[in-house]
Chain A
Amino acid sequence: DAGITQSPRHKVTETGTPVTLRCHQTENHRYMYWYRQDPGHGLRLIHYSYGVKDTDKGEVSDGYSVSRSKTEDFLLTLESATSSQTSVYFCAISEPNRGRSETQYFGPGTRLLVL
C-alpha cells in the first residue's frame, strides 16, 4: 500500500459523536486525499491537501473537516457523525510532477459504522 497506513481500520460509533480518522504516509508526497466509497457511487472525493496547511474541498465535503499540520499526516474529522456517513474511507497520496497529475496510491481503508 505504498507506505500508507490508516487508523483505525474499523470503527463503530453513535450518531452525534465526533470521529477522527488518521492517514499516515512515509513517502513524503505533497498531495493527500480523503475519499469515501459507497455501493453504486464509486469513489467520491471529500477533501484533499496539496501541502502542509493547504487544503481544499472535494465533491462531498459537507459534514467533514480536515487538517494537515505535517507532511506525513492527514486527519479527517466528522464533527457530529450521522448514519449517512457510514462508509468505507480511503486515503490516497500523490506527487504531481512537472505540472501534471501523477498516480494516486491508496491506503487500506477504514470501515466506519455510525449507529
Chain B
Amino acid sequence: GENVEQHPSTLSVQEGDSAVIKCTYSDSASNYFPWYKQELGKGPQLIIDIRSNVGEKKDQRIAVTLNKTAKHFSLHITETQPEDSAVYFCAASIGRGSTLGRLYFGRGTQLTVWP
C-alpha cells in the first residue's frame, strides 16, 4: 500500500512567521492529498486538499503545493497566529479499485505558534 512520510514531527514558530510542513508519498498512482488540523481533544478537521491535476491551491493564509514528479506535497501557513497551534496531518489516496476511499496518513506535525 501507500506510504506517507511527514516532516518535521514538531515545529515552533513565532507569531507572524510562516510555517511549512512537508510530506512524501510512495505510490505514483496517488491522486488526492488532504491536510487535516487536529486541536487538543477533538477529531481531525480538513483544512485544505489538492488533487493531482493541480500544482497549487490557496485558501487565505494556507496553501498546498504538489510536485508529482518528486512525489511530495507541502502545507504552507503564512502570518501564523497562536490559534494555528495544533497537530497537522497530511494524507494521500490512490482512490481507485480496492483502495477507493482509503486515506494513508503521515504521523503528524505538532505546530506551536508563540505569541
> Which residues of A are at the interface with B, using a C-beta cutoff of 8 A?
1, 31, 40-45, 48, 50, 56, 58-59, 90, 94, 96, 99-109
A27–B1 CA distance with the chains assembled, in angstroms: 29
B105 close to A43 (CB less than 8 A): yes
Given A42-B108, A43-B89, A94-B101 in contact, is the A100-B45 Cβ separation under 8 Å?
A: no
Given A42-B89, A96-B95, A100-B95 in contact, is the A105-B46 Cβ separation under 8 Å?
A: yes
A44–B41 CA distance with the chains assembled, in angstroms: 17
B44 close to A43 (CB less than 8 A): yes
A100 close to B31 (CB less than 8 A): yes
Given A31-B101, A50-B101, A101-B93 in contact, is the A109-B32 Cβ separation under 8 Å?
A: no
Which of A59, A96, A101, A106 meets B43, CB within 8 Å? A106
List the 7 shortest-distance A-B pairs measured between CB atoms, nearest first.
A106-B43, A101-B95, A101-B93, A42-B107, A31-B101, A43-B105, A100-B95
Which residues of chain A are near B70, meaning CB under 8 Å? none
> Which residues of B are at the interface with A, using a C-beta cutoff of 8 A?
1, 6, 31-32, 34, 36, 41-46, 49, 89, 93-96, 98, 100-103, 105-108
Given A42-B89, A100-B31, A101-B93 in contact, is the A108-B42 Cβ separation under 8 Å?
A: yes
Nearest CB in chain A: distance from B88 CB, A:
11
A100–B94 CA distance with the chains assembled, in angstroms: 8
Which residues of chain B are near A90, meaning CB under 8 Å? 43-44
A42 close to B46 (CB less than 8 A): no
Which residues of chain B are near A103, meaning CB under 8 Å? 34, 46, 49
A48–B45 CA distance with the chains assembled, in angstroms: 19
